[in-house]
């Protein structure tokens, strides 16, 4: 059982690395290149294909984080009943976990909005008329949702460290 737990924590951390690293790569490498090169056909295609490919990888990571996270809680002795009782949430571990789960919930909602609504809409508008006001505002909205998610991901990472090591 301990080996399974260690494999779960390894998978949990690896999923966090791939997901957060991928978001930073898109924002710090792909984004500036596309902005510098303007919205020529090739770059719109690059954004679209990178976005679609990372969508699959990102959701796989988020799902792995959820599944391994639940397993780690079970391994630590928490069960379904604990979720509805006071003691867990009154403990320091429980308070940090609660904050982490709220932030993760917002990340899931924003990711769904970005990946399945705003993002695809922005890409279609950019293909139709990249200079249109609607295309630019949808693209800006998609970028801002992406940035907020990155900040939330860093916040979750900080909470995760405190989950194990305690508050400062």
Which residues contribute to the site for ligand HEM (CB under 6 A)?
9, 12-13, 16, 65-66, 69-70, 72-73, 76, 104, 107, 153, 156-157, 160-161, 163-164
For the CB of residue 71, give the shortest distance to ligand HEM in the complex, in Å: 8
Nearer to ligand HEM by C-beta: 43 or 54?
54
Residues 54, 114: Cα–Cα separation, whole Å: 12
Nearer to ligand HEM by C-beta: 38 or 87?
87
- Mention every residue, 6+ apart, whose C-beta is less than 8 A from residue 44: 123, 126, 127, 130
For the CB of residue 137, give the shortest distance to ligand HEM in the complex, in Å: 28
For the CB of residue 26, give the shortest distance to ligand HEM in the complex, in Å: 16
Owner of token pair 């460290």: 161
Nearer to ligand HEM by C-beta: 34 or 146?
146
Q: Is residue 163 within 8 Å of residue 98, measured between CB atoms? A: no
Residues 127, 131, 135, 140, Cα dihedral to 10° = 120
Nearer to ligand HEM by C-beta: 70 or 151?
70
Task: Give me the residue whose beta carbon is nearest to ligand HEM.
Answer: 69
Nearer to ligand HEM by C-beta: 46 or 82?
82
For the CB of residue 68, give the shortest distance to ligand HEM in the complex, in Å: 7
- Mention every residue, 6+ apart, whose C-beta is less than 8 A from residue 10: none
Q: Please state whether 166 falls in left (phi above 0), alpha (psi between -120 and 50) or beta.
A: left
Beta carbons within 10 angstroms of residue 21's beta carbon: 11
């Amino acid at each position: 059982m301990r080996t399974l737990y260690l494999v779960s924590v390894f998978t949990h951390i690896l999923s966090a690395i791939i997901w957060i690293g991928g978001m930073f790569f898109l924002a710090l490498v792909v984004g500036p290149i596309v902005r510098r090169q303007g919205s020529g056909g090739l770059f719109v295609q690059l954004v679209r294909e990178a976005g679609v490919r990372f969508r699959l990888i990102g959701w796989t990571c988020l799902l792995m984080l959820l599944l391994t996270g639940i397993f780690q809680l079970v391994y630590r002795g928490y069960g379904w009943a604990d979720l509805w009782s006071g003691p867990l949430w009154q403990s320091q571990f429980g308070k940090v976990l609660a904050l982490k789960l709220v932030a993760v919930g917002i990340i899931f909602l924003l990711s769904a909005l970005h990946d399945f609504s705003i993002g695809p809409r922005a890409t279609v508008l950019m293909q139709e008329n990249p200079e249109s006001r609607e295309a630019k505002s949808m693209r800006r909205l998609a970028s801002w949702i992406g940035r907020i998610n990155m900040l939330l991901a860093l916040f979750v990472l900080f909470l995760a460290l405190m989950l194990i090591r305690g508050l400062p």
